A and B are shown apart, each in its own frame.
Chain A
Amino acid sequence: MKISLNWLKKFVEIPVIENYNNMVVGKVMELQKHPNAEKLNVAMVDIGIEQIQIVCGGVNLEKGQTVPVALIGAIMPNGMKIEPVNLRGVESNGMICAKEELNLGPNGPKEIMVLDSNLQAGTPLTEAFKMKGYTVPQLQELFTIRTAEVEAIEKPGEKLQNVVTGKIVAFEKIADSDKLHRATIDIGSKKIQLIFGSVHEVKTGWVVPIALPGAIMANGIMIKKTKIHGIESEGMIADDKELGIENTSEGLTIFPPKTALGMPIADALDLEDTIFIMDNKSLTHRPDLWGHYGIAREFSAILGTKIKPYEKAVQLAKEKDIPIIKSPLNITIVDKEICPRFTSCIIKNIKVEESPQWLKSDLVKVGIRPVNNIVDITNHIMLGLGQPMHAYDRKMVETDTLEVRYAKKGEFIETIDHKHHDLSEEDPIITNGKHVLTIAGVMGGAYSEISEHTTEIILESANWQPAVVRKASQRNGLRTEAVQRFEKSIDSEMAITGLLRAIALVKKLCPKAELEGGLVDDYSEKVATKVIVVRPERIQQKIGAIVTTNEMKDILKRLGFGVASAPNKSLSITVPSWRATKDIATEDDIVEEVARMHGYENIPTPLPTLPTKLPEENILRTLEHKSRTILSGLLNMNEVYNYSFYSGADLANALLPEELHLKPQNFLSTDQTHLRISLVPNILKNIHDNLRFKKSFSIYEIGHTYNEEHAFFPREDVWITGAIVTNTTENPNSIPLLDAKGIAETYMQNIGAPIQEWKKDGLTLQLAHPHNSLAMFSPSERLIARCYDLNPIITKKFDLEGPHKIAIFELNLSQLSQEKLLERKYQPIPRHPGIEFDLAILIDKKIPSIQLKKAIESAMPELIKYATLFDQYEGPNVDPSKKSLAYRILLQSDDRTLTEDDMTKAQKVIMENIAAIGGMLR
């Protein structure tokens, strides 16, 4: 929302001062002629802390003078920034200012301003001029920290520099051109010649905007003196589009004939203004701030200046203007909850035409396009007071009997933007019995729209139920200015004020206009005055700063609240109607009013005292971080994050059962239609993407899975899912499944989880290779880890075939975080040396190695400390039905040093055990 400072000033006193930052009083200590420029001088100026050199062209500059100096970094009122410059070989570090440059009035040509010689060098200009007030950036900052964010400042006039009013004295077609004309333009101080095309029809005597050399058009092009068809052109007739304004529907702004010539059009159009651009989101809870009057009220509270009552600041229709006879309007509000208040009247003898410039300017400045006088009046009241209004063409409505109700099935409307809407039974409407005239509070219908033929209008100034308006707006896709206001619960008290203001404005713009009958006011839902009792000590305790009761009273009064003392040192607060609709209801709401107006910046920053009880540890979260340290820091894996979704195609490709999946009703893309029950599909996509750049890598993700288990809340588990990708060209002997298994075991060893025996993974998971997969279960028989080669079907479906092998591991973190961890116990260091020896054994391929290991270790359990498989071989020199397994075995005793004999004996028993399962020494 855009707010005009000039408009605010009609309601409240806002002392605005120029931004004289970095401008100080200076004394001319020395003055010399510029060595290379006749008209320039070089001055040494004392600015209090030092002397600076300034090149100056002022004709009245003298040694010893006291002058205003703009230092480096100063921004002049016209937007120019002061920077160090080199003027014809001499450095200049500031500017001695003229009156005009400080926006303090006119001065003679090239005359600098001379100040009172009693002023101290270095005194800031604001102080020297005894300026009291706020710069625009200060106002922006104050409103932002007290009330709501002012996102930016706009100066509509700045864009229109060097564009002036000019009268077309004469024009003629250029002989050898179809379209070009030569015109003589009077711009006050002189007459200029320019060439123009034939986009707009023009007439001699018209006063139009003339862009002079130096003007910058909306498209960024700067106007220059130029020659067209050999004829000199000293400017351009500029239309609204070229100027970047929306002032007239005709496209070219034409000023009244008596307009002064050569006047900057920013002045002629009243666009010399400052616009605050409000962040609408920060006004969500403040229905009262959706118009200039509300913002003015807030500024009055912030600055402590007086606000004029609305009825004194602007003209309202007076009692004598309103006929005593009853209005012919017969409004029936069928569905009462839709409409808390409906005020209305009929005005005859209207002449619909373009609005006067002041009205158009007010709208243009804040971004609303002028349409015609009647529509502009309704918009002006919405922007000024915050009350949306609507005007109907009475003749098109045909009847004065109207109904307010929910739409019925089959009813429809064409809104003024010429879109057709089939209405639902929840849409609020106003109807004449034949047509739907408007979606109430949302948008009017094209059927009864104000047109140039309109001579009689029905004016509506109502309040509509916020939720109803909001839903209707959403359902019909119409987010209008009116909706933005009604949905926030505006003050019903405004409705009648808006109507009276509209009547006054219509009468002003159409002097012949008169009311037919009196006003209609159906006020079904008058809100009772809201009174809140608050406890000052509690307010202070919540803010955490010392705010006296007197200060609280003062703040609340400034904001329009009624304040009275109540028993037990509490205060009885009467909420003004404009704050009582929703915004202010409890003591906490008053805390906010006091806190923000006391100034959040004035609140200290103490830390709360620490509790004596330590916070409870989040075991799962600690484990997650530890897992990352192990997997990334120890095992060289990279962590990825993926979305919680995948597509129907992904889950089909991964052979996951669709019925276990939860599905978002609304999804952003067809890639994200299902919530994951496994982290694998997205990991496989990561592999696919990374294979374009890398050959071997390993990645993992820690994330939630969501399982539909037919309870209301689904089951969420946290999994670590990882993949090892090895390149078979570079590393033909790699067995990523063993890497996966090793990672899982090392991981569990590191977190201290007891490693259970791996089992064949007999689960339903089809992601895994039917044979090359194994699983580990906790003592309570819950799955804690699993690793597998990818099912070849899936490799193919995810387009992962190529010179690489992929193995997956999955760790059930939710389960692991609940497992009892091993307690580490010290083992005495063996005192007697052991004997280590290797055995290579040939055995049937089908016998799992674990069986052999057990056969060895059970041979002499008291002496054999371990038997580790360190090599496996199949191929030439080994019977094709067999494999060769090499074990390293350690014999060690706790109480003696072993001998050759012990080893021979052990080997014998080991070989007997091995022979028993069909193995032999190789």
Chain B
Amino acid sequence: MKDLILQLVKEATQEINNTTTPAQLEELRIKYLGRKGSFTNVMQNLKSVPNEEKPAIGQALNAAKNELEQHLTTKQKTLEEEVLKQQLSDDSFDTTRPGTHYETGHIHPLSQVQKEVEEIFSQMGFAIQDGPEIESEYYNFEALNVPKDHPARDMQDTFFLADKSHDHHGRMVLRTQTSPVQIRTMEKFGAPLRVIVPGRVFRYEATDASHDSTFYQVEGLLIDKNISLANLKGVMTEFLTRLFKKETKVRFRPGYFPFVEPGIELDMWCLLCSGMGCRVCKHTGWMEFMGAGMVHANVLKAGGIDPEVYQGWAFGFGLTRLVMMKYGIDDIRLLMGGDLRFLEQF
């Protein structure tokens, strides 16, 4: 009987070793361990074994069954692994195919940069203000210390609206600058004041690759009891460093704008060479960035603020120019052109 069992185990082990597919292996399991399998037959023969031998034979039989089962499991694992390996190696997906294309819309570059500018100044405690695009001569010029016949009015060629005039306000103009909002916010909120005003401005000026009748500016205004030119240098250094994400320096030069005194021109480090001097900045290391200065006492007075108590500065820079610098756009007209081949690049 024992021999029979050993013989059976030997036979089965050999057959298991020779199998090549999981199906064959399953057949063997049924053949040996199934309900009608070889071991069941042997079990049935157990009755004929003398009682004293039964425990030993029974043990041997169980051991043999366990051994076989283990063989089967191990072999099954090996075969499954082989199958998986085969499947994986048969899988010939072309990983160089392009990923699925998801169409997305595009936000205009002016809007994108404007938002960035607003976020940086917001973090420095500046409120974002708006004003009308159609202004009166009073707000656009007079209140900003640019009286009639002042040569500075030549610097800003102006669109006037037909047939509109008012004793106090003068004619109606398309605002040439965002500065009138200085007066409007002073009138509305008084001092202290900390605002920026990004917005659309207009110049009656022939259009070419670098000039357009419509462009965007950002006005800044900070008024409090102890605000100095030094603070302006600090705020602009911080702003430009954050905007361009690299260390940036600014320099002041005397400049003239009727609504400030002292008036300054602010240059920033050349974006290309960071102050070393290159072709782009004509070897000066600097690029013109904006006009600024301490708000003129007449402007504060026009806004209803006492210049003996409060002082502060204002600045104005070209958002359009900033966008052109940032993306290397060489024709300003593209920005107002609505050409999707341009807009889809942003």
- Interface set of A (CB-CB < 8 Å, partner B): 141, 144-149, 281-282, 284-286, 467, 470-471, 487-488, 541-545, 586, 588-589, 591-592, 595-596, 600-601, 603-608, 610-611, 614-618, 620-621, 624-625, 628-629, 631-633, 635-644, 662-668, 672, 675, 682, 685-686, 689-690, 693-694, 697-699, 702, 704, 706, 712-714, 716
Closest Cβ of chain B: how far from A709's Cβ, in Å? 12
Residue of A nearest to B157 (CB): A666
Q: A-B pairs with the 4 shortest C-beta distances? A: A544-B228, A544-B230, A592-B262, A615-B127
**Interfacial chain A residues near B126, Cβ < 8 Å:** 615
A618-B127 in contact given A542-B294, A694-B340 (Cβ < 8 Å)? yes
Residues of A within 8 A of B164 (CB): 662, 712
Q: How far is the CB of A804 from chain B (nearest CB, A)?
A: 15
Closest residue of chain B to A152, judged by CB?
Answer: B282
A contact residues around B127 at 8 Å (CB)? 615-618
Q: In the complex, A81 Cα to B234 Cα: how many Å?
A: 38
Known: A544-B231, A608-B227, A665-B160. A640 touches B192 (CB 8 A): no
A286–B169 CA distance with the chains assembled, in angstroms: 30
Minimum distance in angstroms from B88 CB to a CB of chain A: 38
Contacts of B339 in A (CB 8 A): 689-690
The answer to whether A600 touches B336, judged by C-beta atoms less than 8 angstroms apart, is no
Residues in chain B near residue A694, CB distance under 8 A: 340
When the two chains form the complex, which single residue of A628, A666, A704 contacts B200, counting CB atoms closer than 8 Å?
Answer: A704
* A541 to B224 CA separation, bound complex (whole angstroms): 12
The chain B residue with its CB closest to the CB of A686 is B338
Q: Does B105 contact A (CB under 8 A)?
A: yes
Check: B321 CB closer than 8 A to any chain A CB: no
User: A541-B228, A591-B294, A639-B343 given as contacts; is B134 within 8 A of A282 (CB)?
Assistant: no
Max count, chain A CB within 10 A of own CB: residue among B152, B155, B205, B214: B214
Q: Is the CB of B261 within 8 A of A641?
A: no
Cβ contact within 8 Å between A641 and B108: yes
Contacts of B174 in A (CB 8 A): 644, 664, 675
Chain B, Cβ-Cβ closest to A586: B297
Residues of A within 8 A of B228 (CB): 541-545
Asked if A605 and B237 sit within 8 Å, CB to CB, the answer is yes
Which residue of B265, B338, B344 is within 8 Å of A642 (Cβ)? B338
CB-CB < 8 A to A604: which residues of B?
Answer: 230, 233-234
Contacts of A686 in B (CB 8 A): 338
A603 touches B134 (CB 8 A): no
The stretch of B40-48, B56-64, B65-73, B246-254 in contact with A is B246-254
* Partner among A282, A662, A714 whose Cβ is within 8 Å of the Cβ of B255: A282
Are B233's CB and A543's CB within 8 A?
Answer: no
- Tell me which residues across on chain B come within 8 A of A633, comparing CB atoms: 104-105, 107
Contact A706 B256 (CB under 8 A): no
Contact A611 B204 (CB under 8 A): no
Cα(A437)–Cα(B250), bound, Å: 52
Q: CA separation between A828 and B238, bound complex, in Å?
A: 48
Would you give the shortest CB distance from A172 to chain B, in whole angstroms? 51
Which of chain A's residues has its CB closest to B249's CB? A605
In angstroms, Cα B284 to Cα A681, docked, is 46
Please report the C-alpha to C-alpha distance between residue A639 and residue B345 in the assembled complex, in whole angstroms. Answer: 12
Contact of B133 among A592, A628, A642, A716 (CB under 8 A): A716
Residue of A with least CB distance to B150:
A467
Tell me the residues in window 210-243 of chain B with beta carbons closer than 8 Å to chain A beta carbons.
213-214, 222, 224, 226-231, 233-235, 237-238
A698: chain B residues at CB < 8 Å are 105
Known contacts: A541-B228, A621-B130, A664-B174. The answer to whether A639 contacts B206 by CB under 8 A is no
Contact between A632 and B161, CB atoms less than 8 A apart: no
B172 proximal to A (CB < 8 A):
yes
Segment of B1-9, B27-35, B117-125 in the binding face:
B117-125
A-B contacts, 17 listed (Cβ < 8 Å): A284-B151, A541-B228, A588-B294, A605-B233, A608-B231, A638-B106, A639-B107, A639-B108, A662-B134, A665-B159, A665-B161, A668-B205, A668-B206, A672-B213, A689-B339, A712-B136, A712-B169
How far, in angstroms, from A536 to B262 measured CA to CA in the complex?
A: 15
B241 to chain A, nearest CB (A): 11
A285, A591, A636, A662: the one contacting B105 at CB < 8 Å is A636
Q: Is the CB of B118 within 8 A of A621?
A: yes
CB nearest to B253 among chain A residues: A145
Nearest A residue to B148, CB-CB: A467
Q: Closest Cβ of chain A: how far from B326's Cβ, in Å?
A: 16
Q: Is B149 an interface residue (CB 8 A)?
A: yes
Q: Contacts of A600 on B, CB cut-off 8 Å?
A: 229, 251-254, 264
Contacts of A644 in B (CB 8 A): 133, 174, 200, 202, 214
Which single residue of chain B is at the shortest CB-CB distance from A545? Answer: B230
Contacts of A149 in B (CB 8 A): 253, 265
User: Closest Cβ of chain B: how far from A759's Cβ, in Å?
Assistant: 29
In the complex, the answer to whether A662 meets B161 with C-beta atoms within 8 Å is yes
Beyond the given pairs A282-B255, A588-B296, A632-B105, 18 more chain A to chain B contacts, judged by CB atoms under 8 angstroms and listed by A's residue number, are A147-B254, A148-B254, A149-B265, A284-B151, A284-B155, A543-B228, A588-B261, A606-B230, A607-B124, A607-B231, A608-B234, A618-B127, A618-B129, A628-B108, A639-B108, A662-B162, A704-B133, A706-B134
Interface residues as binary, B138-162 with A (CB distance below 8 Å gives 1, 0 otherwise): 0000000000010110010001111
Question: A713 vs B261: C-alpha distance in the bound complex, in angstroms?
Answer: 30
A430 to B77, CA, bound (A): 116
Which residues on the A side are within 8 Å of B166 (C-beta)? 712
**Contact status A595-B262, CB under 8 Å:** yes
Judge whether B230 and A605 touch: CB under 8 Å: yes
Name the one of B107, B122, B224 contacting A628, with C-beta atoms under 8 angstroms.
B107
Whether the Cβ atoms of B253 and A603 lie closer than 8 Å is no
A606 engages B231 (CB within 8 Å): yes
Q: Which residue from chain A places its CB closest to the CB of B212 in the assembled complex?
A: A643
Structural contact, B238 and A611, CB atoms closer than 8 A: no
Q: Is the CB of A675 within 8 A of B104?
A: no
Instruction: Please measure, in the bound complex, the distance between the C-alpha atom of A470 and the C-alpha atom of B264, giving whole angstroms.
Output: 25
Give CA–CA (A823, B190) in the complex, Å: 34
Q: In the assembly, what is the distance between CA of A603 and CA of B234, in Å?
A: 10
Q: Tell me if A603 and B252 are in contact (CB < 8 A).
A: yes
How far, in angstroms, from A620 to B253 measured CA to CA in the complex? 36
Q: Which residue of B lies closest to A144 (CB)?
A: B253
* Interface residue from B107, B226, B253 paired with A632 (Cβ < 8 Å): B107
Residues on A with C-beta less than 8 A from B204 are: 666, 668
Say if the beta carbon of B10 comes within 8 Å of chain A: no
For residue B120, give the distance in angstroms from its CB to the closest CB of chain A.
13
Which A residue's beta carbon lies closest to that of B147? Answer: A467
Q: Which residue of B lies closest to A599 (CB)?
A: B252
> Is B111 an interface residue when CB atoms closer than 8 A count as contact?
yes
Beta-carbon contact of A638 and B254 below 8 Å: no
B25 within 8 A of partner (CB): no
- Alpha-carbon gap, A668 to B253, bound state (A): 34
* Cross-chain contact of A541 among B207, B214, B226 (Cβ < 8 A): B226
- Closest Cβ neighbor of B308 among chain A residues: A538
Select B229's contact among A544, A629, A631, beta carbons within 8 Å.
A544
Distance A662 CA – B128 CA, assembled complex (angstroms): 28
As a 0/1 sequence over residues 81 to 125 of chain B, the CB contacts with chain A under 8 angstroms (1 = contact) are: 000000000000000000000011111101100010010001011
- The answer to whether B262 and A713 have CB atoms under 8 Å apart is no
Closest to B192 in A: A611
Known contacts A145-B252, A596-B254; decide if A667 and B230 are in contact (CB<8 Å).
Answer: no
Chain B residue numbers with a CB within 8 Å of A616 are: 127
Is the beta-carbon distance between A586 and B261 smaller than 8 angstroms?
yes
A632 touches B230 (CB 8 A): no
Query: Which residues of chain B are near A589, meaning CB under 8 Å?
Result: 261-262
B75 at interface by CB-CB < 8 Å: no
A713–B104 CB distance below 8 A? no
Contacts of B311 in A (CB 8 A): 541-542
Complex Cα gap A631–B108 (Å): 12
A702 partner residues in chain B, CB cutoff 8 A? 111
A143 to B270 Cα, complex, angstroms? 20
A97 to chain B, nearest CB (A): 23
Whole-angstrom CA separation of A141 from B281 in the bound complex: 14
Of B161, B207, B237, the contact of A663 (CB 8 Å cutoff): B161
Question: B132 interface residue, CB < 8 Å from A?
Answer: yes
